[in-house]
């Protein structure tokens, strides 16, 4: 199914909400195609082609009559007069010929004008195969009557309804899952075999036909405190809503479609679907997500304990070099713990790195040299980063900020800047550039051996982040370190 939106947008005759109503029609007309056992096409006026096909849907309950896609094409000459007649009369028109569209195929074609606020907005054509000579079953006759009732409502502007469910929760019932037709009092007039089976799984062993669906549903509920407040309106067919009922470990999704004419509601359709397995899997995912969050939380707690032990050990050290080494190890462990704390607060695979690094950036500068006054300024946006980037990048920034404070500023007041810039390369890769600058003494004239911190940085940048690292003199004095990497997750 596809739809061309440009003809709709460019049509000045449409009123407020008309285009949205046509989109709502195309979004829900699979239901009608399945009930009618017919292909449906949506036609819209076009100055060059008389009418153009905006959309086409094939039935899932029967074979299609059109294997090639004709969306965007003009209407055939033998179908145009029927569509024009329906457009002007605003009533359903049926072709008197059975071979319209294809001389080798016997089909019944109906043109249904979609009318809203007294104006015809488009015409739906229904194409049903008549080549089968067998007598239609009661199911087929009921389905086709339901399809006719819905299309008849379309000529009155009563269907589709803007109150119809458009939520994102999975498990929307379809015609093949189960259908019940109710009268105006909510009594079941017809129940498809799949619909009967769905309610049998809930515990109902009697026939549904001739019984009130509201009473049947009420008798099946074990815990009425958990009932959705919309359930009574759905099982009586009064409102076009969705709801779910659960009993004996079975979850049933219900959707009601009221049937109306120009004056009153005369019945309703209720679609039902057994979504027990779907809900079970969703609960498993929620449980697994909660478990992962708990693991991250416990790892964070354990790392904080390790950092506390290192801090206690450093206080007992008599050697300044040993004490400094333990303090650096403590800072690195605390950085990793901060990342796990962030991961434990959400379910997404991406991490909001800006929120994480704001705390880490200031903390790194303060802890690196608590005796001196260091200002920190951050610009740019990191955005959402893959979780497998978060820990190594946080460690790299921590080491570079610490290096800037300890060696760049060298026990004097100064400023450390952190900037992030995200862009897209010519090859379509997302690139992250991070720069850390200070206004300190600048690069040494004679390079000296790298310490453990810079060795850690180089290892993480090349092996974990797959990036490049470069040092340069900052204009105005000081040093700038630039890190560049492609945001391609390496977690797989």
- Could you read off the pLDDT of 25-63 as tens digits, one per residue? 998 999 999 999 999 999 999 877 789 999 999 999 988
Residues 6+ apart with CB under 8 A from 181: 142, 146, 188, 189, 190, 191, 267, 268, 269, 270
Q: Do 385 and 316 share a structural domain?
A: no
Question: 7 near 18, Cβ under 8 Å?
Answer: no
Q: Is residue 166 part of a domain?
A: no
Write out the residue range of the structural domain in which residue 299 sits. 277-347
Q: Is residue 167 part of a domain?
A: no
User: What pLDDT, on a 0 to 100 scale, did the predictor assign at position 219?
Assistant: 85
Our count of domains for the chain comes to 4
Q: Is residue 424 part of a domain?
A: yes
Q: Do 135 and 28 share a structural domain?
A: yes
User: What pLDDT, on a 0 to 100 scale, did the predictor assign at position 169?
Assistant: 56
Q: Do 73 and 14 share a structural domain?
A: yes
- Could you read off the pLDDT of 419-445 as tens digits, one per residue? 999 888 877 788 899 999 988 888 877
Identify the CATH number of the domain in which residue 221 sits: 3.30.450.20
Q: Do 299 and 238 share a structural domain?
A: no
Q: Do 355 and 216 share a structural domain?
A: no
Identify the CATH number of the domain in which residue 366 sits: 3.30.565.10
Task: Give the residue from 332, 337, 322, 473 showing the smallest Cα distance to 399.
Answer: 332
Q: What integer is the mean pLDDT of 315-341?
A: 68
Q: Do 325 and 246 share a structural domain?
A: no
Q: Is residue 222 part of a domain?
A: yes
Q: Is residue 133 part of a domain?
A: yes
Q: Is residue 41 part of a domain?
A: yes
CA 339 to CA 342: how far, in whole Å? 5
User: What pLDDT, on a 0 to 100 scale, did the predictor assign at position 236?
Assistant: 93
| Whole-number CA gyration radius for the chain | 34
pTM over 0.75, yes/no: no
Nearest 10 degrees: Cα torsion 81, 84, 85, 88: -160
Identify the CATH number of the domain in which residue 107 sits: 3.30.450.280
Residue that terminates a domain, selected from 305, 321, 347: 347
Q: What integer is the mean pLDDT of 51-78?
A: 90
Q: What integer is the mean pLDDT of 470-482?
A: 87
Residue that terminates a domain, selected from 155, 186, 204: 155
Residue that terminates a domain, selected from 238, 253, 274: 274
User: Average model confidence (pLDDT) for the chain?
Assistant: 82
Q: Do 368 and 290 share a structural domain?
A: no
**Tokens read off for 241:** 């809503």
């Amino acid at each position: 199914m596809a739809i061309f939106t440009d003809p709709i947008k460019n049509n000045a005759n449409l009123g407020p909400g008309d285009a949205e109503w046509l989109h709502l029609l195309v979004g829900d007309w699979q239901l009608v195609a399945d009930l009618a056992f017919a292909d449906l096409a949506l036609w819209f006026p076009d100055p060059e082609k008389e009418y153009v096909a905006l959309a086409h849907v094939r039935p899932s309950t029967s074979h299609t009559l059109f294997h090639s896609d004709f969306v965007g094409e003009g209407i055939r000459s033998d179908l145009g007069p029927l569509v024009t007649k329906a457009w002007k009369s605003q009533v359903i028109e049926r072709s008197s010929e059975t071979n319209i569209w294809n001389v080798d195929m016997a089909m019944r074609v109906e043109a249904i004008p979609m009318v809203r606020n007294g104006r015809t907005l488009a015409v739906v054509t229904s194409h049903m195969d008549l080549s089968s000579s067998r007598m239609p079953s009661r199911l087929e006759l009921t389905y086709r009557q339901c399809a006719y009732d819905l299309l008849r409502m379309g000529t009155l502007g009563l269907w589709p309804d803007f109150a119809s469910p458009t939520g994102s929760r999975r498990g929307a019932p379809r015609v093949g899952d189960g259908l019940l037709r109710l009268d105006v009092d909510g009594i079941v007039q017809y129940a498809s075999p799949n619909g009967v089976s769905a309610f049998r799984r809930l515990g109902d062993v009697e026939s549904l036909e001739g019984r009130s669906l509201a009473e049947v549903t009420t008798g099946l509920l074990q815990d009425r405190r958990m009932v959705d407040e919309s359930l009574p309106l759905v099982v009586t067919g009064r409102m076009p809503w969705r709801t779910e009922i659960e009993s004996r470990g079975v979850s049933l999704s219900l959707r009601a479609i009221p049937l109306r004419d120009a004056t009153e509601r005369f019945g309703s359709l209720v679609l039902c679907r057994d979504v027990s397995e779907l809900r079970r899997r969703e609960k498993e995912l929620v449980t697994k997500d909660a478990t992962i969050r708990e693991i991250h939380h416990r790892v964070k707690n354990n790392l904080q304990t390790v950092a506390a032990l290192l801090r206690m050990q450093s206080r007992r050290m008599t050697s300044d070099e040993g004490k400094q080494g333990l303090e650096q190890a403590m800072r690195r462990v605390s950085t990793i713990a901060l990342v796990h704390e962030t991961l434990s607060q959400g379910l997404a695979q991406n991490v909001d790195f800006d929120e994480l690094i704001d705390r880490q950036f200031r903390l790194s500068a303060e802890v690196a040299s608590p005796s001196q006054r260091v200002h920190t300024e951050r610009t740019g946006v990191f955005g959402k980063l893959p979780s497998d980037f978060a820990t190594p990048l946080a460690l790299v920034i921590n080491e570079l900020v610490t290096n800037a404070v300890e060696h760049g500023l060298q026990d004097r007041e100064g400023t450390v800047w952190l900037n992030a810039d995200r862009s897209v390369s010519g090859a379509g890769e997302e690139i992250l550039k991070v720069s850390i600058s200070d206004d300190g003494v600048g690069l040494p004239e004679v390079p000296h051996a790298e310490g453990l911190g810079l060795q850690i940085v180089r290892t993480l940048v090349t092996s974990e982040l797959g990036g490049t690292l470069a040092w340069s003199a900052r204009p105005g004095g000081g040093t700038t370190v630039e890190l560049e990497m492609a945001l391609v997750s390496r977690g797989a």
